[in-house]
Structure 1
């Protein structure tokens, strides 16, 4: 299992707002039944590496379909093979050290 942070930035749009693009991405993730978490700076998604990368490619193309002329996508992928890691595990481990 892996965790991917994905930030998709559409450029060449009529407005600086990206809220509708983010909402569209969140709707796709909900429909796909993918475990994810929206943050102020991107979306964190949990899954198998191959699935995550295919999903990133699909989501990267979404703004082009809505008229964006350029799209910058940042992908951060964390895969551990020594143990199963789920969304929220890292945060919980740090919180446990703080209490």
Structure 2
């Protein structure tokens, strides 16, 4: 499994708000059965490498499909091959370390 963090910014819209575009990303993730976490700065998607690369392309295209002429997409991929990784694993690992140090 791998994790993909994606942030898609349509450029040249009539408003500084991009909430409608983010909502569309979430709808498409739901429609395609993607496991994801929405954050304040992007969306994190879990899947095998082929799935997340395919998802990145599909999501990048969404603003273009709405008539936007320029889109800035930032991708970060965590593809670990020595063990399975899943959404929330790293957060839990850090929380466990904090709990251990406090004890």
Mapped contact 1:6–1:74 kept (Cα < 8 A): yes
Displacement of 1:33 after TM fit?
1.1
Q: Deviations over 1:34-69 (max 9, x none)?
A: 110000000000001111011101110100111212
Match of 1:87 in 2: 87
Which blocks of at least 5 consecutive residues in structure 2 are unaligned?
none
**TM-score, normalization by structure 1:** 0.97
Match of 2:74 in 1: 74
Q: Which runs of 4+ in 1 moved over 3 A?
A: none
Which blocks of at least 5 consecutive residues in structure 1 are unaligned?
none
Aligned residue runs from structure 1 range 17-96, under 5 A: 17-96=17-96
Q: How many residues align?
A: 99
In our comparison, the structure showing a higher alpha carbon Rg is 2
**TM-score, normalization by structure 2:** 0.94
